Structure 1
Amino acid sequence: MWLYFHFPLSFREVEELMLQRGCIVSYETISRWCLKFGQPYANALRRRCPRPGDKWHLDEVFITINGEQKYLWRAVDQDSNVLDILVQNQRKAAARRFFRRLLKGIGAAPRVIVTDKLRSYGAAHREVMPSVEHRSHKGLNNRAENSHQPTRQRERAMKGFRSVGGAQRFLAAFSGISPHFRPRRHRRTAPDHRTEMTVRFVIRDQITGATAPPTAA
Protein backbone atom coordinates (compact mmCIF):
# COMPACT_ATOMS: atom_id res chain seq x y z
CA MET A 1 0.00 0.00 0.00
CA TRP A 2 2.85 2.39 0.74
CA LEU A 3 4.07 2.20 -2.85
CA TYR A 4 0.62 2.91 -4.26
CA PHE A 5 -0.31 5.79 -1.97
CA HIS A 6 3.12 7.44 -1.91
CA PHE A 7 4.17 7.26 -5.57
CA PRO A 8 2.08 7.97 -8.71
CA LEU A 9 1.96 4.29 -9.66
CA SER A 10 -0.78 2.10 -11.06
CA PHE A 11 -1.69 -1.22 -9.46
CA ARG A 12 0.06 -3.03 -12.33
CA GLU A 13 3.24 -1.01 -11.79
CA VAL A 14 3.18 -1.87 -8.08
CA GLU A 15 2.74 -5.52 -9.05
CA GLU A 16 5.91 -5.34 -11.19
CA LEU A 17 7.91 -3.65 -8.43
CA MET A 18 6.82 -6.32 -5.96
CA LEU A 19 7.82 -9.03 -8.43
CA GLN A 20 11.28 -7.46 -8.77
CA ARG A 21 11.56 -7.77 -4.99
CA GLY A 22 10.62 -11.43 -5.12
CA CYS A 23 7.01 -11.03 -3.99
CA ILE A 24 4.37 -12.49 -6.31
CA VAL A 25 1.05 -10.71 -5.89
CA SER A 26 -1.51 -9.73 -8.51
CA TYR A 27 -2.59 -6.16 -9.18
CA GLU A 28 -6.17 -7.19 -8.34
CA THR A 29 -5.03 -8.24 -4.87
CA ILE A 30 -3.13 -4.97 -4.41
CA SER A 31 -6.30 -3.10 -5.38
CA ARG A 32 -8.34 -5.04 -2.80
CA TRP A 33 -5.72 -4.39 -0.11
CA CYS A 34 -5.75 -0.65 -0.78
CA LEU A 35 -9.54 -0.55 -0.74
CA LYS A 36 -9.82 -2.58 2.47
CA PHE A 37 -6.85 -1.31 4.47
CA GLY A 38 -6.12 2.14 3.04
CA GLN A 39 -8.47 4.11 5.29
CA PRO A 40 -7.63 2.23 8.53
CA TYR A 41 -3.93 2.78 7.71
CA ALA A 42 -4.53 6.51 7.17
CA ASN A 43 -6.54 6.75 10.39
CA ALA A 44 -3.77 5.06 12.37
CA LEU A 45 -1.19 7.50 10.98
CA ARG A 46 -3.41 10.46 11.85
CA ARG A 47 -3.73 9.23 15.43
CA ARG A 48 0.07 9.47 15.69
CA CYS A 49 -0.04 13.15 14.68
CA PRO A 50 -0.21 16.01 17.19
CA ARG A 51 -3.61 17.52 17.90
CA PRO A 52 -4.71 19.74 14.97
CA GLY A 53 -3.90 23.43 15.22
CA ASP A 54 -6.51 26.08 15.95
CA LYS A 55 -6.20 27.87 12.61
CA TRP A 56 -7.89 26.11 9.70
CA HIS A 57 -7.35 26.91 6.03
CA LEU A 58 -10.14 25.75 3.69
CA ASP A 59 -10.13 25.63 -0.09
CA GLU A 60 -12.01 24.02 -2.97
CA VAL A 61 -10.88 22.97 -6.46
CA PHE A 62 -12.28 21.17 -9.47
CA ILE A 63 -11.31 17.54 -10.07
CA THR A 64 -12.18 15.35 -13.04
CA ILE A 65 -14.42 12.37 -12.34
CA ASN A 66 -15.51 10.21 -15.26
CA GLY A 67 -14.85 13.14 -17.58
CA GLU A 68 -16.94 15.60 -15.53
CA GLN A 69 -15.85 18.37 -13.18
CA LYS A 70 -16.68 17.87 -9.50
CA TYR A 71 -15.62 19.71 -6.35
CA LEU A 72 -12.90 18.72 -3.91
CA TRP A 73 -12.93 20.53 -0.56
CA ARG A 74 -9.88 20.42 1.69
CA ALA A 75 -9.01 21.73 5.15
CA VAL A 76 -5.50 22.00 6.60
CA ASP A 77 -4.24 23.56 9.82
CA GLN A 78 -1.50 26.18 10.20
CA ASP A 79 1.14 23.43 10.09
CA SER A 80 -0.21 22.09 6.76
CA ASN A 81 -1.63 18.94 8.37
CA VAL A 82 -4.62 17.75 6.34
CA LEU A 83 -7.72 17.78 8.53
CA ASP A 84 -10.22 16.33 6.08
CA ILE A 85 -11.35 16.27 2.44
CA LEU A 86 -14.78 16.05 0.85
CA VAL A 87 -15.73 15.31 -2.77
CA GLN A 88 -19.07 16.73 -3.92
CA ASN A 89 -21.11 16.77 -7.13
CA GLN A 90 -22.21 20.37 -6.58
CA ARG A 91 -20.82 23.37 -4.74
CA LYS A 92 -24.16 24.58 -3.37
CA ALA A 93 -24.48 23.81 0.37
CA ALA A 94 -21.22 21.83 0.30
CA ALA A 95 -19.36 24.37 2.46
CA ARG A 96 -21.96 23.97 5.22
CA ARG A 97 -21.71 20.20 5.06
CA PHE A 98 -17.91 20.35 5.13
CA PHE A 99 -17.90 22.65 8.18
CA ARG A 100 -20.14 20.25 10.08
CA ARG A 101 -18.07 17.28 9.00
CA LEU A 102 -14.89 18.98 10.28
CA LEU A 103 -16.42 19.80 13.66
CA LYS A 104 -17.70 16.26 14.09
CA GLY A 105 -14.42 14.66 13.05
CA ILE A 106 -12.10 16.86 15.10
CA GLY A 107 -14.38 17.41 18.04
CA ALA A 108 -13.49 21.06 18.61
CA ALA A 109 -13.89 24.37 16.84
CA PRO A 110 -10.87 26.34 15.61
CA ARG A 111 -9.87 29.82 16.71
CA VAL A 112 -9.71 31.09 13.11
CA ILE A 113 -10.79 29.85 9.69
CA VAL A 114 -9.18 31.18 6.52
CA THR A 115 -10.93 30.90 3.15
CA ASP A 116 -11.06 32.52 -0.25
CA LYS A 117 -13.90 34.85 -1.27
CA LEU A 118 -16.43 32.12 -2.12
CA ARG A 119 -19.75 33.37 -0.74
CA SER A 120 -20.90 29.98 0.55
CA TYR A 121 -18.05 30.02 3.09
CA GLY A 122 -19.53 33.12 4.70
CA ALA A 123 -23.00 31.58 4.89
CA ALA A 124 -21.63 28.33 6.34
CA HIS A 125 -19.55 30.25 8.87
CA ARG A 126 -22.53 32.24 10.11
CA GLU A 127 -24.66 29.10 10.46
CA VAL A 128 -22.17 26.53 11.77
CA MET A 129 -19.30 28.45 13.43
CA PRO A 130 -20.58 31.97 14.19
CA SER A 131 -18.23 32.48 17.14
CA VAL A 132 -15.10 31.59 15.14
CA GLU A 133 -13.09 34.37 13.49
CA HIS A 134 -13.39 34.19 9.69
CA ARG A 135 -10.66 35.66 7.50
CA SER A 136 -11.66 35.76 3.85
CA HIS A 137 -8.90 36.76 1.46
CA LYS A 138 -7.41 35.10 -1.61
CA GLY A 139 -3.82 35.87 -0.68
CA LEU A 140 -4.09 34.36 2.80
CA ASN A 141 -4.99 30.87 1.65
CA ASN A 142 -1.85 29.64 -0.09
CA ARG A 143 -1.37 26.94 2.54
CA ALA A 144 -4.60 25.16 1.58
CA GLU A 145 -4.04 25.73 -2.13
CA ASN A 146 -0.54 24.22 -1.97
CA SER A 147 -1.96 21.18 -0.20
CA HIS A 148 -3.86 20.33 -3.38
CA GLN A 149 -0.67 19.80 -5.41
CA PRO A 150 -0.06 16.10 -4.56
CA THR A 151 -3.70 15.40 -5.43
CA ARG A 152 -3.28 17.15 -8.77
CA GLN A 153 -0.20 15.05 -9.53
CA ARG A 154 -2.06 11.87 -8.67
CA GLU A 155 -5.13 12.92 -10.65
CA ARG A 156 -2.98 13.36 -13.77
CA ALA A 157 -1.27 10.00 -13.23
CA MET A 158 -4.65 8.27 -12.84
CA LYS A 159 -6.16 10.21 -15.78
CA GLY A 160 -8.98 11.34 -13.52
CA PHE A 161 -11.23 9.43 -11.14
CA ARG A 162 -14.10 7.14 -12.13
CA SER A 163 -16.73 7.98 -9.52
CA VAL A 164 -17.42 10.41 -6.70
CA GLY A 165 -17.41 7.58 -4.15
CA GLY A 166 -14.17 6.15 -5.50
CA ALA A 167 -12.53 9.57 -5.44
CA GLN A 168 -13.67 10.16 -1.85
CA ARG A 169 -12.34 6.78 -0.69
CA PHE A 170 -8.99 7.17 -2.42
CA LEU A 171 -8.39 10.81 -1.47
CA ALA A 172 -9.46 10.29 2.15
CA ALA A 173 -6.81 7.58 2.49
CA PHE A 174 -4.27 9.38 0.29
CA SER A 175 -4.52 12.59 2.34
CA GLY A 176 -3.70 10.64 5.50
CA ILE A 177 -0.91 8.45 4.10
CA SER A 178 0.99 10.56 1.57
CA PRO A 179 1.88 13.49 3.90
CA HIS A 180 3.43 11.07 6.40
CA PHE A 181 6.10 10.26 3.80
CA ARG A 182 6.53 13.85 2.60
CA PRO A 183 8.17 15.70 5.51
CA ARG A 184 9.24 19.26 4.86
CA ARG A 185 12.75 19.46 3.44
CA HIS A 186 13.18 23.22 3.69
CA ARG A 187 16.49 23.96 5.45
CA ARG A 188 16.92 20.31 6.34
CA THR A 189 20.19 18.56 5.52
CA ALA A 190 20.24 15.26 3.65
CA PRO A 191 21.32 13.30 6.77
CA ASP A 192 18.54 14.94 8.80
CA HIS A 193 16.02 14.05 6.11
CA ARG A 194 17.17 10.42 6.05
CA THR A 195 16.88 10.26 9.83
CA GLU A 196 13.36 11.68 9.70
CA MET A 197 12.32 9.22 6.99
CA THR A 198 13.76 6.33 8.99
CA VAL A 199 11.59 7.33 11.95
CA ARG A 200 8.54 7.52 9.70
CA PHE A 201 9.23 4.09 8.24
CA VAL A 202 9.47 2.69 11.77
CA ILE A 203 6.06 4.20 12.55
CA ARG A 204 4.70 2.63 9.37
CA ASP A 205 6.06 -0.78 10.38
CA GLN A 206 4.61 -0.45 13.87
CA ILE A 207 1.18 0.30 12.45
CA THR A 208 1.21 -2.41 9.80
CA GLY A 209 3.01 -5.01 11.89
CA ALA A 210 5.67 -5.33 9.20
CA THR A 211 9.19 -6.48 9.96
CA ALA A 212 11.71 -3.83 9.04
CA PRO A 213 14.47 -4.99 6.66
CA PRO A 214 17.99 -5.25 8.07
CA THR A 215 20.09 -2.09 7.88
CA ALA A 216 22.70 -2.18 5.12
CA ALA A 217 26.28 -2.27 6.29
Structure 2
Amino acid sequence: MTISKINVINIIKTISYCGLGYLSYLMVLITIQYIPIRFDVAFLAIKQDVISKPYYQISFFTHVYTAIFVLLLGFFQFSKRLRKKYPKSHQAFGKLYIGLIILLSGPSGFVMGIHANGGIYSQASFCLLSLLWVYFTVQAYRYARKKEWRLHSKFIYRSYALTLSALSLRLFKWVIATTVALPPMDIYKIVAWAGWLVNLLIAELIILNEDRRLVVLKDGAK
Protein backbone atom coordinates (compact mmCIF):
# COMPACT_ATOMS: atom_id res chain seq x y z
CA MET A 1 0.00 0.00 0.00
CA THR A 2 1.40 3.38 -1.01
CA ILE A 3 1.96 6.27 1.42
CA SER A 4 -0.78 8.32 -0.30
CA LYS A 5 -3.32 5.53 0.13
CA ILE A 6 -2.39 5.17 3.79
CA ASN A 7 -2.85 8.92 4.30
CA VAL A 8 -6.27 8.85 2.62
CA ILE A 9 -7.38 5.91 4.78
CA ASN A 10 -6.15 7.65 7.93
CA ILE A 11 -8.01 10.83 6.98
CA ILE A 12 -11.22 8.88 6.34
CA LYS A 13 -10.83 7.08 9.67
CA THR A 14 -10.24 10.37 11.49
CA ILE A 15 -13.29 12.00 9.92
CA SER A 16 -15.40 8.91 10.69
CA TYR A 17 -14.32 8.86 14.34
CA CYS A 18 -14.95 12.59 14.70
CA GLY A 19 -18.39 12.26 13.13
CA LEU A 20 -19.23 9.27 15.28
CA GLY A 21 -18.01 11.08 18.36
CA TYR A 22 -20.14 14.13 17.60
CA LEU A 23 -23.28 12.07 16.94
CA SER A 24 -22.64 10.12 20.16
CA TYR A 25 -22.42 13.44 22.00
CA LEU A 26 -25.83 14.39 20.58
CA MET A 27 -27.21 11.04 21.79
CA VAL A 28 -25.92 11.81 25.28
CA LEU A 29 -27.81 15.12 25.16
CA ILE A 30 -30.97 13.28 24.12
CA THR A 31 -30.57 10.78 26.96
CA ILE A 32 -30.08 13.56 29.53
CA GLN A 33 -33.58 14.81 28.72
CA TYR A 34 -34.95 11.73 30.48
CA ILE A 35 -33.00 12.33 33.69
CA PRO A 36 -34.73 12.47 36.07
CA ILE A 37 -37.50 10.24 34.70
CA ARG A 38 -40.14 12.25 32.86
CA PHE A 39 -43.06 11.11 30.69
CA ASP A 40 -43.76 14.29 28.75
CA VAL A 41 -40.49 15.21 27.02
CA ALA A 42 -38.96 14.61 23.59
CA PHE A 43 -40.02 11.28 22.03
CA LEU A 44 -42.42 10.46 24.87
CA ALA A 45 -44.50 13.53 24.05
CA ILE A 46 -45.92 11.61 21.07
CA LYS A 47 -46.23 8.27 22.91
CA GLN A 48 -48.88 9.24 25.43
CA ASP A 49 -51.11 6.43 24.19
CA VAL A 50 -48.73 3.76 25.55
CA ILE A 51 -46.53 5.48 28.12
CA SER A 52 -49.17 4.84 30.77
CA LYS A 53 -48.51 1.10 30.45
CA PRO A 54 -45.98 0.00 33.11
CA TYR A 55 -44.25 -2.55 30.86
CA TYR A 56 -43.67 0.11 28.20
CA GLN A 57 -42.28 2.52 30.79
CA ILE A 58 -39.83 -0.14 32.00
CA SER A 59 -38.83 -1.04 28.44
CA PHE A 60 -38.40 2.55 27.29
CA PHE A 61 -36.23 3.73 30.18
CA THR A 62 -34.25 0.48 30.21
CA HIS A 63 -33.50 0.97 26.53
CA VAL A 64 -32.66 4.65 26.82
CA TYR A 65 -30.42 4.32 29.87
CA THR A 66 -28.51 1.25 28.61
CA ALA A 67 -28.26 1.98 24.88
CA ILE A 68 -26.08 5.03 25.42
CA PHE A 69 -23.54 2.90 27.35
CA VAL A 70 -23.66 0.23 24.63
CA LEU A 71 -22.95 2.91 22.03
CA LEU A 72 -19.99 4.34 23.95
CA LEU A 73 -18.57 0.94 24.92
CA GLY A 74 -18.61 -0.21 21.31
CA PHE A 75 -16.95 3.01 20.20
CA PHE A 76 -13.68 2.03 21.89
CA GLN A 77 -13.74 -1.70 21.10
CA PHE A 78 -12.45 -1.30 17.55
CA SER A 79 -9.17 0.40 18.40
CA LYS A 80 -6.32 -2.05 17.71
CA ARG A 81 -4.01 0.07 19.86
CA LEU A 82 -6.29 -0.18 22.89
CA ARG A 83 -6.85 -3.91 22.34
CA LYS A 84 -3.12 -4.58 22.33
CA LYS A 85 -2.22 -2.21 25.16
CA TYR A 86 -5.17 -3.00 27.46
CA PRO A 87 -6.40 -6.50 26.54
CA LYS A 88 -8.12 -7.09 29.88
CA SER A 89 -10.03 -3.81 29.63
CA HIS A 90 -11.05 -4.68 26.09
CA GLN A 91 -12.34 -8.03 27.30
CA ALA A 92 -14.21 -6.53 30.27
CA PHE A 93 -15.82 -3.76 28.21
CA GLY A 94 -16.67 -6.29 25.52
CA LYS A 95 -18.49 -8.51 28.01
CA LEU A 96 -20.37 -5.50 29.37
CA TYR A 97 -21.33 -4.46 25.82
CA ILE A 98 -22.57 -7.96 25.03
CA GLY A 99 -24.40 -8.41 28.33
CA LEU A 100 -26.24 -5.10 28.08
CA ILE A 101 -27.49 -5.86 24.57
CA ILE A 102 -28.56 -9.45 25.21
CA LEU A 103 -30.18 -8.88 28.61
CA LEU A 104 -31.46 -5.30 28.48
CA SER A 105 -31.12 -3.13 25.37
CA GLY A 106 -32.19 -5.74 22.81
CA PRO A 107 -35.29 -7.11 24.59
CA SER A 108 -36.46 -3.64 25.64
CA GLY A 109 -35.98 -2.44 22.06
CA PHE A 110 -38.19 -5.28 20.84
CA VAL A 111 -40.99 -4.23 23.18
CA MET A 112 -40.68 -0.66 21.96
CA GLY A 113 -40.71 -1.93 18.38
CA ILE A 114 -44.10 -3.52 18.93
CA HIS A 115 -45.48 -0.05 19.68
CA ALA A 116 -43.43 1.87 17.09
CA ASN A 117 -45.01 4.76 15.22
CA GLY A 118 -45.84 4.15 11.56
CA GLY A 119 -47.88 0.99 11.97
CA ILE A 120 -46.88 -2.52 10.95
CA TYR A 121 -44.30 -1.23 8.44
CA SER A 122 -42.17 0.42 11.13
CA GLN A 123 -43.03 -2.11 13.82
CA ALA A 124 -41.74 -4.99 11.68
CA SER A 125 -38.49 -3.11 11.06
CA PHE A 126 -37.74 -2.28 14.69
CA CYS A 127 -38.67 -5.75 15.94
CA LEU A 128 -36.46 -7.39 13.30
CA LEU A 129 -33.68 -4.95 14.17
CA SER A 130 -33.86 -5.96 17.84
CA LEU A 131 -33.85 -9.68 17.05
CA LEU A 132 -30.86 -9.38 14.71
CA TRP A 133 -29.06 -7.14 17.21
CA VAL A 134 -29.32 -9.80 19.91
CA TYR A 135 -28.51 -12.63 17.48
CA PHE A 136 -25.36 -10.99 16.09
CA THR A 137 -24.19 -10.15 19.60
CA VAL A 138 -24.78 -13.69 20.86
CA GLN A 139 -22.83 -15.05 17.91
CA ALA A 140 -19.97 -12.64 18.57
CA TYR A 141 -19.81 -13.85 22.17
CA ARG A 142 -20.01 -17.51 21.13
CA TYR A 143 -17.09 -17.21 18.72
CA ALA A 144 -15.05 -15.24 21.25
CA ARG A 145 -15.51 -18.10 23.71
CA LYS A 146 -14.22 -20.48 21.03
CA LYS A 147 -11.33 -18.09 20.27
CA GLU A 148 -12.41 -17.94 16.64
CA TRP A 149 -11.44 -14.31 16.40
CA ARG A 150 -12.17 -13.68 12.73
CA LEU A 151 -15.78 -14.87 13.09
CA HIS A 152 -16.03 -12.96 16.37
CA SER A 153 -14.88 -9.81 14.57
CA LYS A 154 -17.43 -10.26 11.78
CA PHE A 155 -20.36 -10.53 14.15
CA ILE A 156 -19.15 -7.65 16.30
CA TYR A 157 -19.08 -5.49 13.16
CA ARG A 158 -22.67 -6.50 12.46
CA SER A 159 -23.72 -5.99 16.06
CA TYR A 160 -22.21 -2.52 16.29
CA ALA A 161 -23.65 -1.58 12.90
CA LEU A 162 -27.08 -2.14 14.44
CA THR A 163 -26.05 -0.33 17.61
CA LEU A 164 -25.26 2.68 15.43
CA SER A 165 -28.78 2.66 13.98
CA ALA A 166 -29.72 4.93 16.90
CA LEU A 167 -27.49 7.55 15.27
CA SER A 168 -28.04 6.84 11.58
CA LEU A 169 -31.83 6.84 11.94
CA ARG A 170 -31.73 10.41 13.24
CA LEU A 171 -29.13 11.45 10.69
CA PHE A 172 -31.10 10.04 7.76
CA LYS A 173 -34.28 11.57 9.11
CA TRP A 174 -32.64 15.01 9.20
CA VAL A 175 -31.17 14.62 5.69
CA ILE A 176 -34.46 13.51 4.13
CA ALA A 177 -36.51 16.14 5.97
CA THR A 178 -34.23 18.93 4.76
CA THR A 179 -34.03 17.75 1.13
CA VAL A 180 -37.38 16.13 0.28
CA ALA A 181 -40.93 17.38 0.91
CA LEU A 182 -42.51 14.34 2.53
CA PRO A 183 -44.98 13.95 5.41
CA PRO A 184 -43.13 13.29 8.71
CA MET A 185 -44.63 9.82 9.12
CA ASP A 186 -43.55 8.80 5.61
CA ILE A 187 -40.01 9.89 6.44
CA TYR A 188 -40.16 7.89 9.66
CA LYS A 189 -41.22 4.75 7.78
CA ILE A 190 -38.29 5.15 5.40
CA VAL A 191 -35.66 5.70 8.08
CA ALA A 192 -37.10 2.89 10.20
CA TRP A 193 -35.57 0.52 7.63
CA ALA A 194 -32.77 2.64 6.15
CA GLY A 195 -31.44 3.49 9.61
CA TRP A 196 -30.11 -0.04 10.08
CA LEU A 197 -30.06 -1.67 6.63
CA VAL A 198 -27.55 0.90 5.32
CA ASN A 199 -25.35 0.33 8.38
CA LEU A 200 -25.50 -3.43 7.92
CA LEU A 201 -24.57 -3.08 4.25
CA ILE A 202 -21.54 -0.97 5.19
CA ALA A 203 -20.54 -3.56 7.80
CA GLU A 204 -20.72 -6.33 5.19
CA LEU A 205 -18.56 -4.28 2.81
CA ILE A 206 -15.98 -3.76 5.58
CA ILE A 207 -16.02 -7.50 6.33
CA LEU A 208 -15.64 -8.34 2.63
CA ASN A 209 -12.73 -5.92 2.27
CA GLU A 210 -10.95 -7.37 5.31
CA ASP A 211 -11.47 -10.92 4.01
CA ARG A 212 -9.88 -9.93 0.70
CA ARG A 213 -6.99 -8.23 2.48
CA LEU A 214 -6.35 -11.34 4.59
CA VAL A 215 -6.37 -13.51 1.46
CA VAL A 216 -3.81 -11.21 -0.18
CA LEU A 217 -1.60 -11.31 2.92
CA LYS A 218 -1.89 -15.10 3.12
CA ASP A 219 -1.01 -15.53 -0.57
CA GLY A 220 1.91 -13.13 -0.16
CA ALA A 221 3.27 -15.20 2.73
CA LYS A 222 3.37 -18.39 0.64
Per the TM superposition, whether the score is higher than 0.5 is: no
Higher share in strand: 1
Higher share in helix: 2
TM-score, structure 2 as length reference = 0.28
TM-score, structure 1 as length reference = 0.29
The answer to which structure, 1 or 2, has the higher relative contact order (CA under 8 A, 6+ apart) is 1
